[in-house]
Amino acid sequence: MNQDFYNALKDVLTEDKVLADEPMKNHTTFRVGGAADYYTVPESKEEVRDIIRLCRQWDVPFYIIGNGSNLLVSDKGYRGVMIQIYRDMSEITVEGHTVRAQAGALLSSIAARALSAGLTGFEFAAGIPGTLGGACVMNAGAYGGEMKDVLRYVTVLTEDGAFLTLHRDELELGYRTSVIARKGYIALEAEIELKEGSKDEIKARMDELKEKRVTKQPLEYPSAGSTFKRPEGYFAGKLIEDAGLRGFRVGGAQVSEKHCGFVINRGSATAADIMALITEVADRVERQTGVRMEPEVKRLGEF
């Protein structure tokens, strides 16, 4: 650890918001991952900007995470600064048909606020295990809905260190992508436009989607959600199942028997186990079908 850099981080944040050698298994939904050299928890967009400015001045790598729901961190950890935009940047406000939220707000929390305000259009996101920032970057979607259907504006931090507000027409939202991802911007807050609806109908739809998730997805095990992107013209889970890989294991990692599109941590998995399983599944499916599946899970560190 570079003590001078560590002290400089603590000048930007309060001391309890900067940790050294922090195990990332504590901050990812896979519950695996070695230690990050530095782990920071900013409380404002200005603190995010100042941490990144400091990293660039000292030539130290950095990585942004939300609640760690789409991330596989190496067992060897991460040589740099993890910046977690999560609970300390999760404010949500509702005004009329508009919901404004910071990037660290959970999609489930935003959906709950929309429900209480009688606003419809965000039900699809109620069960997605991620934050608003990540959802904007990857245009998260489920059950026929996508962020592009409801986003109005997203405020980002550019690579030049400037705050920029982008209208939905400027976001270039596509399947699991956006201009935010392509240009390396960092999502900080967003404005969502919804419609007035019946609270009973909104809750019924959310309950229906929750039931689908509980019965069809392995929510009882640590995972990163859907492991592979949907190949054009196919469903990843069906390709995996047809390749005879339901329940296939490498160490403590397993293709879920409940839903083959999920790789789960049975409790003792390492990041290496999970990576080896993902690679083997992709290889076997390709040999059998000619279709190469691309992981949706982001990998960070040395594998």
Half-sphere exposure of 256 (CA within 13 A, CB side): 24
Eight-class DSSP state of 96: T
Q: Classify residue 287 as exposed, middle or buried by CB count within 10 Å of its CB (0-12, 13-18, 19+).
A: exposed
Q: How far apart are CA 219 and CA 127, in angstroms?
A: 11
Establish whether 69 is a catalytic residue. no
Catalytic residue among 43, 172, 280, 296: 296
Establish whether 246 is a catalytic residue. no
Catalytic residue among 69, 74, 226, 256: 226
Q: CA geometry: angle at 234 spanning 233 and 237, to 5°?
A: 165
Cβ neighbours, 10 Å, residue 249: 14
Q: How far apart are CA 170 and CA 172, in angstroms?
A: 6
Q: How far apart are CA 101 and CA 140, in angstroms?
A: 16
Cβ neighbours, 10 Å, residue 294: 11
Q: Which residue has tokens 């399983």?
A: 277
Catalytic residue among 176, 178, 191, 256: 176
Q: How far apart are CA 204 and CA 25, in angstroms?
A: 35
CB of 40 closer than 8 Å to CB of 51: yes
CB of 19 closer than 8 Å to CB of 39: yes
Catalytic positions are 176, 226, 296
